Amino acid sequence: MTWARRAVPLAAAALAALAARDLTQRDHALRRNFPVLGRARYLLESIGPELRQYIVAANDEERPFTRDQRRWVYASAKQENNYFGFGTDNDIEYTAGYPIIKHRTFGRAVPPSAPTAGQEVRLPCAKVLGGARGRAKAFRPESVVNISGMSFGSLSGRAVEALNRGAALAGCLQNTGEGGLSPYHRNGGELVFQLGTAYFGCRDEHGRFSLPRLKELVAGAPVRALEIKLSQGAKPSLGGLLPGAKVSAEIAATRGIPRGRDCVSPSRHAEFDDCDSLLDFVELLAAETGLPVGIKSAVGDLGFWSELADLMRDTDRGVDFVTVDGGEGGTGAAPLIFTDSVSLPFQQGFARVYRTFAERELHERVVFAGGGKLGLPDNAIVAFALGCDLVNVGREAMLAIGCIQAQKCHTDTCPTGVATQRAWLARGLDPGLKSVRAANYLKTLRRDLVKVAEACGVEHPGLIDTSAVEILQGRTGSTPLREVYGYRPEWGLPSAADRAEIARLMAAEAPQGGSAPPSPTAQR
């Protein structure tokens, strides 16, 4: 009783102190007019995202990923039941722009009548990366699903390590992101090394690009290709910023910058200033390293793409691959206007770029990759139908290793240790366990893509064309994907030789077993 008697006056004194503080402060009119009670508004505002995420929002309302989408990724990563019961809760009939995939009753692909449990689905790329231009180290990617560029610095070291180990387990590529090649990228997974505007990891003491340092770097790491980052879908034409407080000794060593100082990336490259000099730079990198070289870009003004394609048609220079990043893609931090309104969404942007190359008969000589919420099977299928040879997954891979869509990437307070440099938060992420979950998710996505491809009558998602998808225009109408984006009937597929080769590879893979997660058993 003595404690209780003391607690009451202490609580009253604390409330009186809060009230006095609220009455005398001038920053918030609400608190001044309604002392103590007014604070409830700010409390509710601070936990509003959590309330909406867990209590208020319906299964298909949240953005950027709905509850249903996240549940599918989580269940796939954990090898749990990722099926859904009772039918779709999407409003298909009235949703303009909704894609419908058209299955075939009798297709060329005949799936086994008794599938082998746990069978591995490898899904090699339909094209050889660098093959069209005879690069010395050209190769066929083993997986059409790969991990998108996410830098060490934006992600924690443990998250990068988990993704790299997962890439090794799943037999896919991991893009380093523009933050350089860290020790956490060296855990068995093969890499695409990304060159951003600051040339982190391959720059000299003055911050300029250094070819000798690049050659030394790729010679000592499992780098299979180089990607020149021109822009990113969520923040095109912006340079990155890493505050000095986040520039640890590890990050400084990885990027080749001073420790503890703000790290600001330029908004554009200094090694080239037009399409002509860009292609010269591409050919220099390819000749000196032997690696395939490509570009990554968001899509805005099409003049750049037209000029690039014209030069590739009229000269003997060219990029080996093009990665188109949609405006709906993710980022660690960006101004709201850029994430919301700058750069085209993936489907529109990719279709315009692909059409630009196809009109010049270059589409079979370039490997096309896409990014921007393509780690969900329905989005990925539409991307393949439009001409993608590869899809890159970013935030979906983050979800697989523990991200809960807290949307605090820009605050360094990620509660699951994925997008933070705070050691006490990152310590909760176990790279060994999470790598298995990343691999499970990647394998499950590939398995589902094969299932849909077989439903469309072909052996491989890269063989799905625009005739397999229609876009709803409301309850009573739909338009074939080909007409929506102005494709010709012959576009959207690899060459006849590549189609034959991929059919042969898939037939050779079919009888082999593996360690892919078994198809979950539907609850009855």
CB atoms within 10 A of CB 9: 9
**145-443+456-502 homologous superfamily:** Aldolase class I (3.20.20.70)
Is there a contact between 366 and 321 (Cβ–Cβ < 8 Å)?
yes
Mean pLDDT across the chain, nearest whole number? Answer: 86
- In tens, the pLDDT along 315-349 reads 999 999 999 998 767 776 666 677 766 778 999 99
How do the domains of the chain map onto residue ranges? Answer: 145-443+456-502
- The helix/strand/coil state of 193 is strand
Percent of the chain with pLDDT over 90: 53
* Cβ-Cβ contacts under 8 Å for 36 (sequence gap 6 or more): 15, 18, 19, 22
Nearest alpha carbon to residue 165 among 423, 426, 438: 438
How far apart are the C-alpha atoms of 135 and 259, rounded to whole Å?
37
Cis omega (within 30 of 0) for bond into 64? yes
The encoded tokens of residue 484 equal: 């929506």
Q: How confident is the model at residue 514 (pLDDT cuts 50, 70, 90)?
A: very low
Q: How confident is the model at residue 41 (pLDDT cuts 50, 70, 90)?
A: confident
**Helices in 376-430 by DSSP H: which ranges?**
377-386, 395-400, 423-426
What is the distance between the alpha carbons of residues 214 and 288, in angstroms, rounded to a whole number? 10
Query: How many whole angstroms separate alpha carbon 362 and alpha carbon 85?
Result: 44
Measured distance CA(193)–CA(214) in Å, rounded? 10
**What element of type H or E holds 456?**
none
- Asked if residue 50 has pLDDT above 70, the reply is no
Residue from 229, 256, 251 nearest 184 by CA? 251
pLDDT at 239: 67
First to last CA, the chain: 56
Max CA distance (Å), the chain: 91
Six-digit token string for 240:
């990155």
Q: What's the confidence (pLDDT) of residue 522?
A: 36
Average pLDDT rounded to a whole number, residues 216-224 = 96
Residue 225 CB partners (closer than 8 Å, separation 6+): 129, 130, 173, 192, 193, 291, 292, 293, 294, 320, 321
Comparing CA positions, the residue from 191, 192, 196, 215 lying closest to residue 263 is 196
pLDDT exceeds cutoff 50 at 106:
yes
Question: Hey, which bits of 59-209 come out as E strands?
Answer: 99-101, 145-147, 173-175, 190-195
**Max avg pLDDT among 98-107, 249-258, 280-289:** 280-289
Tell me what percent of the chain is helix, strand and coil, each rounded to the nearest 5. Answer: 40, 10, 50
User: In terms of Cα–Cα distance, which of 379, 367, 399 is closest to 173?
Assistant: 367
- Would you say residue 498 has pLDDT above 90? no
pTM over 0.85, yes/no: yes
Distance from C-alpha of 299 to C-alpha of 346, rounded to nearest angstrom: 8
Where residue 238 falls among pLDDT bands split at 50, 70, 90? low
- What is the 3-class SS of 313-345, one letter each residue? HHCCCCCCEEEEECCCCCCCCCCHHHHHHCCCC
312 three-state secondary structure: helix
Q: Of 241 and 254, which is predicted with more confidence?
A: 254
Beta carbons of 387 and 486 less than 8 angstroms apart: no
What was the pLDDT predicted at 519?
44
